[in-house]
C-alpha cells in the first residue's frame, strides 16, 4: 500500500486534477476519487447515476484492476467518465 499521484480528468470537465490514490485502489475506488473533484461541482450529478469507468490511453480498464497493476508513472493521465458514456 502506498500513496500514488495521478493526473485525473473527469470527461466533460475543463481541467484535470492532482489526485492521490493508493496502489491498492481498484478502478472503482480511483474513479470515485477523481470524480469527486468534478461531479457535483462543475458536472451535474445524473439521475439515475450510471456509475463510473476508468480509461487509460483511451482504453477502458476493468473495474477490479488495482492502481498497482497498471504500472503507471507518477502523474500519469487517467480519464474517468460516466459508465455508458460513448
Partner 1 sequence: MLLTRDDWYELSRDVDWELDHVDRATAFPANWTGADGIPEQAWDAWEEPFRVSYRDYVRLQREKESGVKAVSQALVRSGTYEKLDPGHVAASHLHMGTTCMVEYMAVTMQSRMCRFAPTPRWRSLGVFGMLDETRHTQLDLRFSHDLLKHDPRFDWAQKAFHTNEWGVLAVKNFFDDIMLSADCVEAAMATSLTVEHGFTNIQFVALAADAMAAGDINWSNLLSSIQTDEARHAQLGFPTLQVLMEHDPQRAQQALDVAFWRSTRLFQTLTGPAMDYYTPVDQRKMSFKEFMLEWIVNHHERILEDYGLAKPWYWDRFLLSLENGHHAMHLGTWFWRPTLFWKPNAGVSKAEREWLREKYPTWEDNWGVLWDEVIANVNAGRMDKTLPETLPSLCNLTQLPLGSAYSRHELAPHQLTYGGRLYSFDSEVSQWVFELDPERYAGHRTVVDRFIGGEIQPMSLEGGLLWMGLTPDVMGDDVYQYAWAREYAALVETEAGALAGVPVAGE
Question: Binding partner 1 by CB under 8 A: which of 40, 50, 51, 62?
Answer: 40
Q: Using the rule CB under 8 A, is 43 a contact of partner 1?
A: yes
Q: Using the rule CB under 8 A, is 75 a contact of partner 1?
A: yes
Report the site for partner 1 in 8-37 (rule: CB under 8 A): 9, 12-20, 36-37
C-alpha distances (whole Å) from 8 to each of 19, 47, 56 are 6, 23, 10
Q: Which CB, 14 or 48, lies closer to partner 1?
A: 14
Taking phi over 0 as left and psi of -120 to 50 as alpha, with beta for the rest, 51 belongs to left
Can you say how many angstroms the Cα of residue 61 is from the centroid of all Cα atoms in its chain? 10
Q: Using the rule CB under 8 A, is 71 a contact of partner 1?
A: no
End-to-end CA distance of the chain: 33
Segment contacting partner 1 by CB under 8 A, of 24-32, 39-47, 62-70: 39-47
Amino acid at each position: 500500500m502506498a500513496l500514488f499521484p495521478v493526473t485525473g480528468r473527469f470527461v466533460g470537465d475543463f481541467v484535470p486534477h492532482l489526485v492521490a490514490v493508493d496502489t491498492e485502489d481498484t478502478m472503482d475506488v480511483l474513479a470515485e476519487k477523481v470524480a469527486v473533484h468534478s461531479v457535483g461541482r462543475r458536472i451535474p450529478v445524473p439521475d439515475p447515476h450510471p456509475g463510473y469507468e476508468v480509461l487509460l490511453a483511451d482504453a477502458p480498464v476493468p473495474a477490479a484492476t488495482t492502481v498497482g497493476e497498471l504500472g503507471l508513472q507518477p502523474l500519469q493521465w487517467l480519464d474517468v467518465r460516466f459508465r455508458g458514456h460513448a
